Amino acid sequence: MSAAPLVFDVVGAAGPTQFFSRLPLDQLAHAYLFSGPAGVGKKTFARRLAQSLLCHAPKPGILGYDESCVSCRLFTAAEDTRHPDFLEHVGSLKIGDADAPMGFYESAELSSRDLVRLLSMRSYSGGRRILLLGDLEFATHHAANALLKFFEEPPSGVLLVVTTAAPGRLPGTIRSRLVEVRFGLLSRHEVREVLLRGGCDPDSAQRACALAQGSVTQGLAALAGQEESLRAAVAAWFFDVVRGRTPQSTWATRETLNEGLAMLKTLVRDWSALGLSEPVPLLAADYAQELRCLEPPSRTELLAWFARIDDAAHLARTNVSPAMVCEAVRMSLTRAG
Amino acid sequence: MKFTCTTKEIAAAVAAASKVVNVHTTVPVLSNILFTTQDGKIAVRATDLELTLEQAFPAEVQEPGSVTVPARLFSSFLANLAPGALELSGSPTRVSVKVTRSNYDFHALPPDEYPPLPPASSGVTFSLPVKSFRDAVTGTIFAASNEEARGAVLMGTLLEVEGTTLRLVATDGYRLAKYELNLNESVSVHERFIVPSRALGEAARNLGNAERVTLTALGTHSNQLRISAGDMTLTVRLVDGQYPNYGQVIPAKFDRSIQVNTEGLKGALKRAQLVAGDRASMVKLAVTNHILVVTASSDISGNAYEELEVEQSGDDLTIAFNARYLVDILDHIETPQTAIEFLGPLSPAAIRPAQTEQGSNLLYVLMPLRQ
C-alpha cells in the first residue's frame, strides 16, 4: 500500500516555503520571527509548519504533512488547534503572577511565566513542542525579560515561532534571538483564493481583493466597511483638530495607526493643493468642500506637518503607544490651526 | 451511548475528574469530561494536557460509545442529586440524564475532539503499597518550590528508582525532603523522573482504597508517567530538565545532635514565629547543657524566649532558622521525638524522626539563616 501524498497547504508565502523546503531538519533553528504586513498568512504558515513537524508521516525535509495521521487530525482547518504539543497565543503577553500558587495553568490569561512553565514539561506525544506567539507584543519589559532566557535557550525539542507586522516593536534583546523570515504581500489571485476558501462569495471576493492591497485582513476590512469607517473617523478627527476643537474620539490603534496616518497625510496634501493657483487632482475629493472652508496653510506649516506625520509613521513602528503617536500629531496640527 | 449507574458512584468519579479541568482553557473540549464505555464499566476522563485523570465506576452498559459533558456544570448537577439510579444517554452534541422523574439535557462536544491518551509504549514499571506511596508523597512534596520564577524543575519532585529503592526528593533551595522506599522487585535500570508536585498530590488524594499503586513510564523518551491504582489512572507529563545534585547539600557527617519532643518544639516555634514576624521569620535555637532555648525578637513585636529539655550529644551550638520552614518539616514528622543533627551554625541541619521505621526512610535538610 502506498503512503498518502504529503501536502503543505498555504497560499502565497513563496519565499518562506522555499526557505523551509531547502532547510535540512537538523539545521532548524530553535526560534523564528515571521515578519511582514498583516493579513499575508504568517500565522497560517506557522500552524502548517507546526503540523508538518508534528506529523508522524516520514518525509525527507521539514514541510509537508499527511492529513490522515493521528497528529494531523488534531489540527483542524479552523484556528482552534487541539494538538497537545502545539501551543498558540495571539496578542499581548503579560509577565504573570510571581506569587501564583503551585499548580498548572489556571490563570485566565496566558502569561510569560505560564509559557515558560508549560514548555518545561516534556512532550505529550513524545515529539517536538511548538509555541506560536502571534502578533506578539509585550505588555511590559518585565514580560519580555521573563522570556529572554527561554528565547535564547529553550528546552530541547521546543520550537518557537513569533509573528509580527512590526518587528521594530519587539525589544532588541528578543529580536536578536530569533531567525527572521520575511513574508511579502499576496497577489490579487492569492487574496481571492484565501477569501474564497474562507467562505466568501466570488463577487465579494473579487471586490475585496481589488481593495486588499495584498492583505487578506485589509480585504476583509474593506468588505465589512471598516476601511470606510476608519477613513471617516480620521477625517472627523482631523477637522476637529485643525479647527482647534478637542476630538471627541480617537481612531488610533495598533492595527489602524499606519492607515490612519496615511489618510492624515492625504488630507494635508489635499488642503495644500487647494491653495495652489493651478488645479491639482485631489486624492480625498469627498472632503474638498470641508477643506475649502479652512484657511489655506502656509508653506512652513505644511513642511512642519509632513515632517511630523513622517515622524509619527516612524514612531508607529516602535513600541510607543498608538495614543501617544496620535497625540504628537494632534499637538502639531493644533498649533497650526 | 447509554448506561445506567448509581448517582453516588458517578458523582464521586466526576468530582474527582473535574478537579483536573482547567476552566480557563482555550481549547473548548478540555472544559469537558469524557465518558467512555469499557467492559461493564464507565471511564471518566479529564485532562488539562499536563495531567490526565481517568476514574472508572461500575455501570450497566446498554449502548457502547463516548460522550463529553461540561465538567463543572455536570459535577455540580450530580452533587445535588439524591441517592438512586441514573440513566445517561448521549450523542456527539447532547447528553440526556434521567433520574426518577427528572430529565436533564446538556450541550456536549463531539468526543472525537478529545485529546487521545499518550502513546502506550511503556518503559520502566514498578509497584508499591498505596500507604507507602501516599506517605512518601505527603512527606516530600511540600518542600518543592512554589515560585514559578525558580523554574519548573524545582516545582517538581524527583522520583529516582534504582535497584529495589525508590527515592522521592523535593527541594526549593532552602529545604530538602528525601524519602526512601524499598520495592519488592528490583528494577533493572536507574531512572530519574521529575514529576510536577501537584500531580503527585492529586495522585495521592485519588488512590482510594486500592492496595497497590503501579507507576509506569510512557513514551519512547519517558515523557509521561502513569500512576494507576484500582479504578484510578493518572497520567502526568514529566518536567524536562536536570534535577540539581541534591546529594551535595546533605553533609556526609554531623558532629552535634539533639533529640527533642516534636510537639513541644513545634509549639515553641509557632509562638516565637509570631514575635519574629518579618519575612524570614528568624528564630534562634541555642543548645546548652541539655536545654534548647528558642528565641526570637523584633523591633515591632518584642522578644520571645522558650526553654525545652533535649537529649544532647556533642558541643553547644547556636543556630538560626526560618521558623516557618522548620514548622513545615515538624508537621510531617509523626514520631513523638525528633532528631536534629548539626555540623555548625552555618551548615545545613538534618532533621528526621527519631528511632523509628519512618526515621530510616525520611530525611529533611534545612539551610540555616545567618544570624
Distance (Å, whole) CA A226 – CA B138: 58
Smallest Cα–Cα separation from B132: which of B360, B364, B358, B359? Answer: B358
Q: Give domain status of residue B221, yes or no.
A: yes
Residue B355: left if φ>0, alpha if ψ -120 to 50, beta else—which one? Answer: left
Question: What percent of chain B is modeled with pLDDT above 70?
Answer: 96
Give the per-residue pLDDT at A87. Answer: 87
- Assess whether pLDDT exceeds 70 at residue B120: no
Cell of B189: 535500570
Smallest Cα–Cα separation from B262: which of B169, B355, B346? Answer: B355
Claim to verify: residue A175 and residue A233 sit in the same structural domain: no
What's the Cα-to-Cα distance from A141 to each of A148, A253, B149, rounded to whole Å? Answer: 10, 20, 16
| DSSP assigned state of A184 | -
For residue range B26-58, list pLDDT tens digits in order. Answer: 678 888 999 999 888 999 999 988 889 999 999
Identify the band that residue A101 occupies on the pLDDT scale cut at 50, 70 and 90.
very low
For residue range B145-192, list pLDDT tens digits in order. Answer: 887 667 788 999 999 999 899 999 999 989 999 999 988 888 888 889
Asked whether B321 and B285 are in contact (CB, 8 A), the reply is yes
Q: How far is A113 from chain B (nearest CA, A)?
A: 7
Q: Give domain status of residue B45, yes or no.
A: yes
Helices (H) then strands (E): counts for chain B:
8, 24
Cell of B195: 514529576
Last residue of a domain, one of B87, B113, B139: B113
Buried b (16+ CB within 10 A) or exposed e, B227-246: bbbbbbbbbbbbbbbebeeb
Q: Which structural domain, as residue segments, surrounds residue B130?
A: 122-248
Average pLDDT over every residue of A149-165:
87
Domain count, chain A: 2
Average pLDDT over every residue of A297-318:
85
- Assess whether pLDDT exceeds 70 at residue A100: no
Identify the band that residue A103 occupies on the pLDDT scale cut at 50, 70 and 90.
very low
Q: Shortest CB distance from B148 goes to which of A82, A109, A117? A: A117
Radius of gyration of chain A (CA): 24
**Residue A124 near chain B (CB below 8 Å):** yes
The 3-state secondary structure of B146-159 reads CCHHHCHHHHEEEE
Distance (Å, whole) CA B50 – CA B247: 29
Last residue of a domain, one of A182, A199, A214: A182
Claim to verify: residue A176 and residue A247 sit in the same structural domain: no
Domain count, chain B: 3
Q: Give domain status of residue B338, yes or no.
A: yes
ipTM of the complex: 0.71
Give the per-residue pLDDT at B39. Answer: 83
Q: Give domain status of residue A147, yes or no.
A: yes
Q: Give domain status of residue B371, yes or no.
A: no
Q: How far is A210 from chain B (nearest CA, A)?
A: 35
The strand order across the sheet containing A86-93 reads: A86-93, A129-138, A158-164, A31-35, A179-182
Give the per-residue pLDDT at B219. Answer: 77
| Inter-chain CB proximity B148 and A96 less than 8 Å | yes
Distance (Å, whole) CA B216 – CA B237: 12
Distance (Å, whole) CA A281 – CA A288: 11
Last residue of a domain, one of B202, B231, B248: B248
- Assess whether pLDDT exceeds 80 at residue A77: no
Identify the band that residue A286 occupies on the pLDDT scale cut at 50, 70 and 90.
confident
Spatial CB neighbours of B96, under 8 Å, sequence gap ≥ 6: B88, B89, B90, B103, B104, B105, B106
- Assess whether pLDDT exceeds 50 at residue A102: no
- Assess whether pLDDT exceeds 70 at residue A97: no
Domain of A155, CATH number, reads 3.40.50.300
| Inter-chain CB proximity A123 and B241 less than 8 Å | no
For residue range B311-359, list pLDDT tens digits in order. Answer: 999 999 999 999 999 999 999 999 999 999 999 899 999 999 987 665 5
Residue of B nearest to A113 (CA): B148
Last residue of a domain, one of B248, B275, B302: B248
- Assess whether pLDDT exceeds 70 at residue B67: yes
- Assess whether pLDDT exceeds 90 at residue B257: yes
- Residue A156: exposure state from Cβ atoms within 10 A (0-12, 13-18, ≥19): exposed
Spatial CB neighbours of B93, under 8 Å, sequence gap ≥ 6: B107, B108, B109, B110
Give the per-residue pLDDT at B106. Answer: 93
Asked whether B213 and B207 are in contact (CB, 8 A), the reply is yes
Claim to verify: residue A162 and residue A256 sit in the same structural domain: no
Instruction: Report residue B4 CA to chain centroid gap.
Output: 34
Distance (Å, whole) CA A305 – CA A297: 10
For residue range A173-230, list pLDDT tens digits in order. Answer: 888 999 999 999 898 889 899 989 888 888 888 877 777 778 888 888 777 776 667 7
Q: Which structural domain, as residue segments, surrounds residue A245?
A: 224-336
- Supply φ then ψ for residue A217, to 5 degrees: -60, -45
Mean pLDDT of chain B: 90
**Residue B155 near chain A (CB below 8 Å):** yes
Claim to verify: residue B231 and residue B170 sit in the same structural domain: yes
Q: Give domain status of residue A8, yes or no.
A: no
**Residue B151 near chain A (CB below 8 Å):** yes
What count of other Cβ atoms lies within 10 Å of the Cβ of residue A256?
A: 20
Cell of A229: 469607517
| Inter-chain CB proximity A80 and B27 less than 8 Å | yes
Residue of B nearest to A84 (CA): B49
Claim to verify: residue B241 and residue B263 sit in the same structural domain: no
Domain of B305, CATH number, reads 3.10.150.10
Distance (Å, whole) CA B342 – CA B321: 12
- Assess whether pLDDT exceeds 90 at residue B2: yes
Region of poorest pLDDT, from A298-302, B100-104, B294-298: A298-302
A156 compared with B342, residue with greater pLDDT:
B342
- Assess whether pLDDT exceeds 80 at residue B279: no
Give the per-residue pLDDT at A1. Answer: 45
pTM, 2 dp: 0.73
Strand ranges for B223-348 from DSSP E: 224-229, 232-237, 256-261, 282-288, 291-298, 302-309, 311-313, 317-322, 337-342
Q: Name the 3-class secondary structure at B42.
A: strand
| Inter-chain CB proximity B240 and A106 less than 8 Å | no
Residue of A nearest to B143 (CA): A102
